[in-house]
Amino acid sequence: MEYSCKLGAADKLKSACLVVGVYKNNRLTPLGQGLDAALGGQLKRILKRQDFAGDLGQTQMLYEPKGCAAVRILLVGLGEQKEFSARQFGLALLPAFQQLDKSAATDCLVLLPNDADDESTYRLVREAVNAAEAGVYRFEQCKSEATPPKHPLKRVEFLAQSRAQANAGNRAAEHGRAIGIGSRLAKDLANLPGNICTPTYLAEQAQALGRGKPKLKVTVLSEKQMEKLGMGALLSVSRGSRQPAKLIVLEYNGGKAGSKPVALVGKGLTFDAGGISIKPAANMDEMKYDMCGGASVLGTIAACAELNLPINVVGVVPSSENLPDGDANKPGDIVTSMSGQTIEILNTDAEGRLILCDALTYTERFEPAAVIDIATLTGACIIALGHQASGLLANDDKLAEELFEASTECGDRTWRLPLWDEYQRQLDSNFADMANIGGRPAGTITAACFLSRYAKAFKWAHLDIAGVAWNSGEKKGATGRPVPLLTEFLLRRCKASM
Ligand code: BES
Ligand code: MN
Ligand code: ZN
């Protein structure tokens, strides 16, 4: 999809559809009022009919408006004007873009609702682009016959009120488009089933991402290489599977040579049956999404490369399956991690931390400025935060604050949980240095406590994305989160270093 901002008279600009926001109780925006005046009051007359009230997400298509260069006008309810925000703008536009994707219009021109400052305009357009990307996303790779829309939406333009506003909007359009590309990659990989998206497939896709990008180097470590490194925890998970584990390493060198990278470590568990501590059957299919952390690392690096960001980023994705097998981990087994610390595996379903701990130790060699791991790590995180926010835990307050601010700003929310020392003793083991589970209380925190023991060498934050990486039910599908948050974080780091 293409996005850009332009200036001009709403009634004179050619487009397949003018998208005109209307606040609740049919209040027009400034550009909407100007358009209505140029069209001799047509819009106000139609609004008086009361079929449309400006409720959030409501739409009304008008055809061949008189005196207008556009073929259609789509009225879009913006909801309460008092509560209006960039987030609300995105929510309002989502159904509009879905409708346009199905209609014969292949382009549209969206009137910006106000002449807000550069920063607010930037947020409005970012949310709008986000809505457009979500609205047109479809996953049909596994259908024998795809049913793409006959006239898909291809170009979205925004009508600004000033040159400054158009500039801010264009910057947002560029960033939003790149985040869209990254999110799409993450969603596609995540939506693929476990029998297609194996660790080997994920590694191949990472290598494909690196092709033709001189700033991106992709390396894939085999089980043999991981053995040499002593990754006993990671390999113990993979031993119960016929698919070989992979350690995928992506190095994006957009920054100055020698400037310390941000490392993103993503859980790439391509199917989690629980192992010998097998999961119940209901909804187990959704455990194909247990690689969403890894997919978000690939997606974020894709966005960085698309934007040519002046920053160094390392992605590390440990990838494996977790299945029951005669050679699988058994409750009570003790393994030695790459760090040398031993782990008593009391529940084989707590496998994410086992593959991540070795990946974290491996990450030390890049001398990272900061490490963020991203994982669908605990069901407990869904109990704590539901499907709104990722759990955020960190050994560094500044890094946590930076991530929290980025997440609030871009709407890809996080909420911090504590990592107090007192929780650590829940991991005590009678037989090894630590157990891999900490009991029912504070399951998300004890999982992060476990990881923290492998993150002592750097500033580290952990994102538990179990509740946000995919939707269940009728609209089952990956969300692409937290690609928006991670890209926002990196964009801000770039800005701060300039
Ligand atoms: N991948 C799961 C976590 C998960 C479960 C995410 C459901 C989203 C939905 C993880 O590997 C796991 O099984 N965690 C266990 C840990 C427990 C055994 C300490 C869990 O959350 O039940
Ligand atoms: Mn598990
Ligand atoms: Zn898992």
pLDDT in tens, the chain (498 residues): 999 999 999 999 999 999 999 999 999 999 999 999 999 999 999 999 999 999 999 999 999 999 999 999 999 999 999 999 999 999 999 999 999 999 999 999 999 999 999 999 999 999 999 999 999 999 999 999 999 999 999 999 999 999 999 999 999 999 999 999 999 999 999 999 999 999 999 999 999 999 999 999 999 999 999 999 999 999 999 999 999 999 999 999 999 999 999 999 999 999 999 999 999 999 999 999 999 999 999 999 999 999 999 999 999 999 999 999 999 999 999 999 999 999 999 999 999 999 999 999 999 999 999 999 999 999 999 999 999 999 999 999 999 999 999 999 999 999 999 999 999 999 999 999 999 999 999 999 999 999 999 999 999 999 999 999 999 999 999 999 999 999 999 999 999 987
The DSSP code for 367 is -
Rounded distance, CA 175 to CA 129, Å? 9
Rounded distance, CA 11 to CA 210, Å? 45
Q: Residue type at 433?
A: D
- Residue 493 in tokens: 């780091």
Whose Cα sits closest to atom 22 in ligand 1? 379
Nearest-ligand number for the alpha carbon of 466: 1
Q: Which of 353, 459, 481, 493 does the annotation list as catalytic?
A: 353
Q: Quick check: 431 and 334 in contact, CB under 8 A?
A: yes
Q: Quick check: 268 and 322 in contact, CB under 8 A?
A: no
Q: Which of 87, 154, 171, 279 does the annotation list as catalytic?
A: 279
Residue 498's pLDDT is 79
- Helix (H/G/I), strand (E/B), else coil: 214: coil
Whose Cα sits closest to atom 13 in ligand 1? 349
Q: Quick check: 291 and 202 in contact, CB under 8 A?
A: yes
Residue 8's pLDDT is 97
Nearest-ligand number for the alpha carbon of 275: 2
Rounded distance, CA 185 to CA 292, Å? 11
- Helix (H/G/I), strand (E/B), else coil: 412: coil
Known catalytic membership, residue 211: no
- Helix (H/G/I), strand (E/B), else coil: 115: coil
Rounded distance, CA 396 to CA 314, Å? 19
CA 183 centroid distance within chain: 6
Known catalytic membership, residue 353: yes
Question: Quick one: which atom of ligand 1 is closest to the CA of 267?
Answer: 1
Ligand 3 centroid from CA 236, angstroms: 14
Mutation test residue for ligand 1: of 279, 378, 437, the one with most atoms within 8 Å of CB:
378
- Residue 216 in tokens: 């991106």
Number of C-beta neighbours around residue 154 at 10 A: 14
Question: Quick one: which atom of ligand 1 is closest to the CA of 378?
Answer: 21
Rounded distance, CA 238 to CA 223, Å? 9
Whose Cα sits closest to atom 17 in ligand 1? 350
| Ligand 1-lining residues (CB < 6 angstroms) | 272, 290, 347, 349-352, 376-380, 437, 443, 466
- Residue 141 in tokens: 């790779």
Distant-in-sequence, close-in-space partners of 429: CB < 8 Å, separation ≥ 6: 343, 344, 346, 435
Question: Quick one: which atom of ligand 1 is closest to the CA of 287?
Answer: 1
For 214-238, letters b (16+ CB in 10 Å) and e give: eebebebbebeebeebbbbbbbbbb
Q: Quick check: 123 and 175 in contact, CB under 8 A?
A: no
Rounded distance, CA 26 to CA 235, Å? 61
Mutation test residue for ligand 1: of 237, 349, 382, the one with most atoms within 8 Å of CB:
349
Ligand 3 centroid from CA 28, angstroms: 49
Rounded distance, CA 324 to CA 315, Å? 29
Q: Quick check: 140 and 146 in contact, CB under 8 A?
A: yes
Q: Quick check: 343 and 436 in contact, CB under 8 A?
A: yes
pTM surpassing 0.95?
yes
